[in-house]
Amino acid sequence: MKPFIHNDWWPVLEPEFEQDYYQELRKFLVEEYQHYRIDPDMYHIFTAFDWTPFSQVKVVILGQDPYHNPGQAHGCSFSVLPGTKLPPSLVNIYKELQSDVGCTPVQHGYLKKWADQGVLLLNSVLTVRDGAAFSHKGHGWERLTDAAIAKLSARPEPVVFILWGRAARSKISLIDTKTNIVLQSAHPSPLSANRGFFGSKPFSKTNIALTSLGETPIDWQLPEHVSVDPGGPQTNPTQAEEN
């Protein structure tokens, strides 16, 4: 199979791509991309993995479903491309970021600076049909991303897992909580942010945890001006075949 993740995630996840469930998922995606508008673009499905190599992951911010409004999703949880209106959940993340660690809010939602420092921005489902939330749920993505979480949990180097909301918290069974650090709270969505997300201080708690592990803390302050790194693989993963 021709690699479509271009770093050390490939040998970690390649066995999953060879499983029957993934082949069925690939067939499903081929049909979906042919007949509907799907986010993200097929070449950017695995951007989160491309931006943050397996060996460099220090933190995981786990999302559920990609943004399903046109042009928002680009392969990383909670992040949007520059020039895109900030989604309500990200607005609330920025409010907590300012309250927690004093970061100045920016007008874009491009979180690549976090990814470059070892923050894996992972959704449990990696694609979605425009305007149809959870439309690709239950087609196989969860098995792949569960495997990624489990592999990170089993690494000798501990990881800080940030689990926002019930769906993310349901993944705690995949994580060895004796060797890794888990931070849990309500989801930043406007529907739940006032029920435990605001005031949860995930960013300062993450840096305290990283410092205790001997790791460099994350600089959460995003730059005001950014240029787009398209990320993602050069190979279309819906067409990748075994050699």
CA distance 198 to 160: 19
Q: Check if the beta carbon of residue 4 is closer than 8 Å to that of residue 233.
A: yes
Q: Check if the beta carbon of residue 114 is closer than 8 Å to that of residue 92.
A: no
Vertex 147 angle, CA 116 and 123, to 5°: 50
Query: What residue type is assigned to position 225 of the chain?
Result: H
Query: How far from 78 is each of 23, 63, 66, 93, CA to CA, in Å?
Result: 27, 7, 8, 9
Q: Check if the beta carbon of residue 51 is closer than 8 Å to that of residue 228.
A: no
Q: Check if the beta carbon of residue 170 is closer than 8 Å to that of residue 62.
A: no
- Residues contacting 127, CB < 8 A, separation 6+: 29, 32, 38, 39, 40, 45, 66, 136, 141
Residues carrying an active site annotation: 65
Residue 124 falls in which region: left (phi positive, over 0), alpha (psi -120 to 50) or beta = alpha
Vertex 97 angle, CA 114 and 67, to 5°: 65
